[in-house]
Structure 1
Amino acid sequence: MKRAISACIFTGLTTTALAQSLPVTDDAVFMFNGQEITISRTATLPDTSFDVVSRALSDCIQPCLSPMTAARNVATVGELDVIDFMSTAIEDGSGLLVDARLPDARAVAHIPASVNIPAATVAETNPFRDEILMALGAEHYQGIFNFDGAMDLIIFDDGPATQDAPTFITDMLAAGYPPEKISYYRGGMQVWTTLGLTTTGSAQ
């Protein structure tokens, strides 16, 4: 298993090394909370990003790849979709990029303009879940939620070998959040960092 994991990581790093020969999109520049944010492709991995790429893979005791689709009617999106979402929905305040990992993982590196809402916080057992749903734009009246004005969300985690984002999505759907307002960025931090896209955190 360790040999297979190493091979996956090596493949990712090799892909990054070859990225300079591939077309690169223009920088995306947008505003978030009054701050200008630029997403660019450096085509190189920061020194500590190897840990970001490998940690979630090595923590997996058995093959635990996420399915391509997190839930019925929830779109799976790629990097260009995420960047476009940043430049449109995030900038105009109608959308949110949600990091479903625990804060310690986020501290290592995260996607700029993302907001940390760990998967466990939207579980039905969390007594504060309703407050989170209302913070996302849902209206609550006499025990019933109206999600018409709720934000569009893109959810991510460490990547295809982890389950935080799919768990988050499952629990949000169970709470009544409309599937058409949720998208799943399956690549997560593993793919984002391997492609050399801008990150924030200690893996700079």
Structure 2
Amino acid sequence: MNISKMSTAFALVGGLAVSASAFASGINITPSLKAVDVLHGGKPVTIERTSDKNATIPLAYAKVSRACPPFCVQPMTVASGVDTVGELEVLGYLKRISNGDRSVMVVDSRESAWVNRGTIPGAVNTPWNMINVDVAGTFEVEAEAEGLHDILINKFGAKLDNGHWDFRNAKTLVLFCNGIWCPQSSINIKTLVKMGYPAYKLKWYRGGVQSWVSVGLTTVKP
């Protein structure tokens, strides 16, 4: 990681409040970060690592053999100009949102059946097949244009002007799905880039929920 990217990572998580008992349990997120308070559905949620020494990865994420296609190992770079981020960067974006920053949205790209098993606190669910318009050879499902336009305008802050998309005031999106074998968020990012969404406004949490739960971070159910 170069110096500029290191600085960005530290800036995203810098300034997060650390409780007086930060080192009490010995199960911190980082040596100086105990927990992060965010909002999920308008309610406060504390993201922390579980202190249960017997906790294991949920069975839904323990499976290692998955048919490819569609569940192929994803590359580290999903599209030119799109940053791939990790847990600390996601926490930084979530904290910005909980502090009132409306220019950022963390997007759970999975369908409801998976979201109901648990999602990242502060994430907004926008199922992959509500965005994707070209998944030939993978899931073979196309989004309805009207529904896609509604998401881009009312959720992501884009504007449609005389048939052309204006993304100047669109939100920065941090998209994720189930893990490095899940193509849903990566396909959505490619679709958005193809439509003209600025690459610098798209972030990809490649590890997804599988990586999130593998380090014992808090999840919530609808």
Does TM, normalized by the shorter one, top 0.5? yes
- CA offsets, 1:24-70, max 9 Å, x none? 52211134553222111115488684223125x43334782110011
Give me the whole-angstrom Cα distance separating, in 2, the residues matched to 1:93 and 1:151: 8
Question: Is the 1:159–1:187 Cα contact (8 Å) retained in structure 2?
Answer: yes
Assess if the C-alpha contact under 8 Å between 2:29 and 2:35 holds in 1.
no
Query: Which residue is equivalent to 1:152?
Result: 172
The alpha-carbon distance between structure 1 residues 105 and 178, as it changes in their structure 2 partners (threshold 3 A), is: same
CA distance in 2, matches of 1:144, 1:45: 54
- Residue 28 of structure 1 is matched in structure 2 by 36
Counterpart-to-counterpart distance in 1, 2:81 and 2:88: 20
Unpaired segments ≥5 residues, structure 1: 1-18
- What code does the residue aligned with 2:168 have? D
Identical-pair percentage: 30
SS in 2 for 1:58: coil
Alpha-carbon distance in structure 1 between the residues aligned to 2:175 and 2:91: 13
Which runs of 5 or more structure 2 residues have no equivalent in the other structure?
1-25, 134-141
Q: Does 1:193 align with 2:184?
A: no
2:128 is matched with which residue: 94, 119, 143? 119
**Equivalence map 1:18-167=2 (5 Å):** 20=27, 23-24=30-31, 25-44=33-52, 49-55=57-63, 57-61=64-68, 64-89=72-97, 91=99, 92-124=101-133, 125=142, 126-127=144-145, 128-135=147-154, 136-167=156-187
Deviation for aligned residue 1:175: 1.5
- 2:38–2:122 CA contact under 8 A, matched in 1: no
AA in 1 matched with 2:207: G
What TM-score results when the alignment is normalised by the length of structure 2?
0.74
In the TM superposition, what whole-angstrom CA distance separates every residue of 1:145-177 from its partner, at most 9, and x where no partner exists? Answer: 111111111000100011111101011111111
What's the offset of the Cα at 1:199?
0.2
**Relative to total residues, which structure has the larger helix share, 1 or 2?**
1
The answer to whether the aligner puts 1:170 opposite 2:178 as a matched pair is no
Match status 1:184 vs 2:204:
yes
Alpha-carbon distance in structure 2 between the residues aligned to 1:21 and 1:37: 16
Conserved in 2, the CA contact under 8 Å of 1:98 and 1:156? yes
Flag the 1:90–1:66 CA change in 2: closer, same or farther, 3 A: farther
- Give, as a single letter, the amino acid of the residue that structure 2 aligns with 1:123: N
Which of structures 1 and 2 has the larger relative contact order (alpha carbons within 8 angstroms, sep 6+)? Answer: 1
Q: 1:84, 1:21 → 2: CA distance? A: 16
**CA 1:46 to 1:122, structure 2 compared with 1: closer, same or farther past 3 Å?**
farther
Is the CA contact 1:155–1:165 (under 8 Å) kept in the aligned structure 2?
Answer: yes
Q: What is the TM-score of this pair, normalised by structure 1?
A: 0.80
Q: Distance in 1 between matches of 2:160 and 2:111?
A: 27
Displacement of 1:192 in angstroms is 0.2
Aligned length: 183
User: What amino acid sits opposite 1:60 in the alignment?
Assistant: A
**RMSD over aligned Cα, in angstroms?**
2.5
What secondary structure is seen at the aligned counterpart in 2 of 1:59? coil
